[in-house]
Amino acid sequence: KPKRIQGAFISEEEVEAIVSRIKVQKDQLLYDQEIMEHIEKGRSDQDDSEEGDELYQEAVKVVVENQQASTSFLQRKMRIGYNRAARIMDQLEERGVISQRDGSKPRQVLMSEYQLRDE
């Protein structure tokens, strides 16, 4: 038996009543098309902004100079969070700076320091 309960209590009857109400209303939902378009536009804008990550060039430099590429490596060297480091890793892969994932093997850095200086 619980000794401490924290938060709002909702009985099983209340949960069943809410679920039943949602089931009845699911066919009556109307979405404002203008809002849906705004949401979709926001997603495409976000995709465009990912390409312009201000740390991308710095990440290329770090990866090429150290000849090492992993999400955790970028997190440590650039002091960024996992999600941002993972997105940058995806960009590095898409642009041919690093190899694709191959199981647990480390990724290869495909760009040389010479190529980095030419960019």
| CB-based burial label for 85 (10 Å; 0-12, 13-18, 19+) | buried
| Mean pLDDT of all residues in 54-79 | 92
Q: Cα(61)–Cα(13) distance, rounded to whole angstroms?
A: 59
Residues 35-66 have pLDDT tens digits of 777 777 766 555 544 456 789 999 999 999 99
State pTM to two decimals: 0.55
Residues 100-116 have pLDDT tens digits of 988 888 889 988 887 77
